Structure 1
Amino acid sequence: MSEAPVLRVTGVDLVRDGNPLLRDISLTVRPGEHWALLGSNGAGKSTLLSLLGALAHPTRGTVEVLGERLGRVDMRLLRSRVGHVDPRHPLRSPLTVRDVVLTGLTNSVERVPRWAPTRDETAAAEDLIDLLGLGGLAEARWPVLSQGQRTRALIARSLMPSPRLLLLDEPATGLDVAGREQLIDRLDALGLAHPELASVLVTHHLEELPPGTTHAMLLRDGRCLAAGPVEEILTGDQVSACFDHPVRLTRADGRWSVRTRRPAPVR
């Protein structure tokens, strides 16, 4: 497996309207690693993800995405090489799941007029639909899909150009228990099917992390509190500091659960 980083962030600050949103952030993501960005609302998770997805420039420091440094590359072209899943996908037409997935090849929301996929491209879309647990729904129309099904269809769509990097911004938001568990199961299956693929997932719920999560960064007030392998980072003390609340973490079958840490009773 190649060790050349998929992402390299070095000493990054991001300031908007005089407000520091990110301060001195450094991060390296290599092929096959699956990172979680964790922190409370307003911690800077989605802001950092916008840099990783070549949607914004840093104020200071450097960001390299797929070996290209922001500020020295065509951002639009670079974005087309990153699988960025936007849960607010602005589709208005009643496209089928297959058609939605195929729009990943044209980097468009709607089907491009007079464009038709090849047989191999259609087969690749079908394979991704099956991998994301949507087999049997290829002909289902967008308006009738559940939120969980839409999210998994958008992940399949983002993978059509065979990106080396997948970015997920709170993909489990709005899902019921079944939808969340189906999503987590499919994300793990995706990691096994594409071992070179790197991913970064934003959430503030540890329960939403797939068992295949390899690394984590804890963000608070735009600063990195800790970053590294999940076994070293996701501890009760560090997560408590990140969220400013005493918690106790447990892990079973690769999944995390969180409870408030109660003080020992006085005897």
Structure 2
Amino acid sequence: MSQGTWQGAVGPRRDGAAVELAGVGVRVGGGRSLVSSVDWRVEYGSHWVVLGPNGAGKTTLLSVAAAVRHPTTGTATVLGHRLGRVDLRELRRHIGLVAVGRRLVDEELMEEEGLTAHQVVLTGHTGTSVPLWDRLGPAEHDRAHALLADLGCKDLATRHFAVCSQGERARVRVARALMADPAVLMLDEPFAGLDLPAREDLIAALEDLARSRPSLTTVLVTHHLEEVPATTTHALLMRDTRVQTAGPTQESLTAETLSACFSRPLTLTEAGGRWYVRATRTP
């Protein structure tokens, strides 16, 4: 099948991986590389964290995995469909995405429209900035209420989104991303701007989701190890646009791999399934 030819009905194909990248590179004007020669396979039901310093290429990598952009080189297969041979708009209906950089314009409109948290979650059903009421029935309203409850914020249903705290907004965003019942949930720095209690509330909510939805695949991008949920099964470490290591957390999250990734000696501590890191001080 030639490049640009769409494959029939777009839906998750469970006979392969949720995401499979082979030799993926992304270049921008002037030939500058944002991602270089990445091979990565994300199995259904796994929970990944993508770690690395600023500028490593984490967000760009996630944008390819989330079917937001095409790779410049290599092949990217998402939910069983190769990018370039599928209608990305249809494919993205099966991908829940929470991205700090992409939320601002939509949320400004939501605030201007005076949407409540419940109404914001409803917009996830159609992927729009405001509810399309003719496409929303009792089932969708019930699902939105259930998702708010699952994220520990059912009491926010009637509260205007504009007056929600940053922590409350973060959980409402995740509920909205789950509204279309995606096969994979991708989160790009969802903890940005959160204080410690709000961070811990969101981590607890993500851990509960992983336990209650065993078929849901998740990918979290961050550069803070303290934000990684205990339910995380795999880690990918990036530096200078390339993957340094990727695999199960017990193999890929070590003091040695993290020190190499962040270019300084680090001490890693694990407690209760969570990870904590600090710079190693020399005498």
TM class by shorter chain equals: over 0.9
Does 2:74 correspond to 1:54?
no
Residue type of the alignment partner of 2:27:
V
1: distance between equivalents of 2:168 and 2:144?
15
Between Structure 1 and Structure 2, the one with more helix by share is 2
Q: Superposition pairs for residues 1-267 of structure 1, below 5 Å?
A: 4-17=16-29, 18-87=31-100, 88-89=103-104, 90-91=106-107, 92=109, 93-112=113-132, 114-115=133-134, 117-263=136-282, 265=283
Secondary structure of the 2:214 match is coil
Shift of 1:55: 1.1
Q: Quote the Cα distance in structure 2 between the aligned partners of 1:207 and 1:135.
A: 26
Q: Which residue of 1 aligns with 2:10?
A: none
Deviations 1:195-231 (A, max 9, x none): 1000110000000000001100000000100000011
Asked if the contact 1:3–1:30 (Cα under 8 Å) also holds between the matched residues in 2, the reply is no
Quote the offset at 1:3 in angstroms.
6.4
Contact residue 117 and residue 160 of structure 2 kept, 8 A: yes
Instruction: Work out the CA distance in 2 between the residues paired with 1:207 and 1:188.
Output: 14
SS of 2:215's equivalent in the other structure is: coil
CA distance, structure 2, for counterparts of residue 111 and residue 139 of structure 1? 15
% of aligned pairs identical?
46
CA offsets 1:66-92 (integer angstroms, 9 cap, x no match): 101000011111112210113334222
The one-letter code sitting in structure 1 at the alignment partner of 2:232 is: T
Distance 1:3 1:30, change over 3 A: farther
Task: Flag structure 2 segments of 5+ consecutive residues without an equivalent.
Answer: 1-13
**Superimposed CA distance per residue, residues 142-173 of structure 1 (whole angstroms, 9 cap, x where no aligned partner):** 11101111111111111111111001000001
Question: In the TM superposition, what whole-angstrom CA distance separates every residue of 1:17-65 from its partner, at most 9, and x where no partner exists?
Answer: 1101111101111111110110000000000011011111111111011
Contact 2:99–2:189 (CA<8 Å) still a contact in 1?
no
Distance 1:116 1:40 in 2: 42
TM-score after normalising by structure 1: 0.95
Aligned mates of 1:46, 1:58 — CA distance in 2: 13
Question: How far apart are 1:262 and its partner, in Å?
Answer: 2.0
